[in-house]
């Protein structure tokens, strides 16, 4: 699954620089996540970095974007051009 940012976002700016895929961007009102770029940090880190740093816990899994770990790994490989290790 890709992640999403809910309207509880306080625009604190800490999540955007943590995203290794540049999937997080400033939307009209709050930060948003491009689901086509979000791999939940699969291939980069063991945990989703934006979730780790979010002070208001407003970054849940997006129920409309169900993706397996394997699908996320394939997305990582496509985005980075690197073969995932693990």
Q: Find the CATH number of the domain harbouring 48.
A: 3.30.70.20
Mean of pLDDT values over 53-76: 95
Q: Has residue 85 been placed in a domain?
A: no
Q: Is the pLDDT of residue 10 over 60?
A: yes
Mean of pLDDT values over 30-51: 97
Q: Is the pLDDT of residue 86 over 60?
A: no
67 backbone φψ class: left, alpha, beta (φ>0; ψ -120 to 50): beta
Nearest to 75 by CA among 15, 14, 3: 3
Look at the alpha carbons of 22, 71, 67, 69 in this order and tell me if their dihedral is positive or negative: negative
CA distances from 32 to 14, 35, 39 (A): 13, 9, 14
CA atoms within 13 A on the CB side of 69: 9
The confidence score (pLDDT) of residue 85 equals: 61
Q: Has residue 4 been placed in a domain?
A: no
Q: How many CB atoms lie within 10 A of CB 54?
A: 21
Whole-model pTM? 0.91
Count up the domains in the chain and report the number.
1
Domain span holding position 42: 16-79
């Amino acid at each position: 699954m890709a992640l999403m940012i809910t309207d509880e976002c306080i625009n604190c700016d800490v999540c955007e620089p943590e995203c290794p895929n540049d999937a997080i961007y400033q939307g009209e009102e709050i930060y948003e996540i491009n689901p086509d770029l979000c791999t939940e940090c699969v291939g980069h880190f063991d945990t989703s970095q934006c979730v780790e740093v979010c002070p208001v816990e407003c970054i849940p899994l997006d129920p409309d974007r169900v993706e397996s770990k394997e699908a996320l790994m394939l997305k990582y490989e496509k985005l980075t051009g690197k073969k995932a290790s693990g």
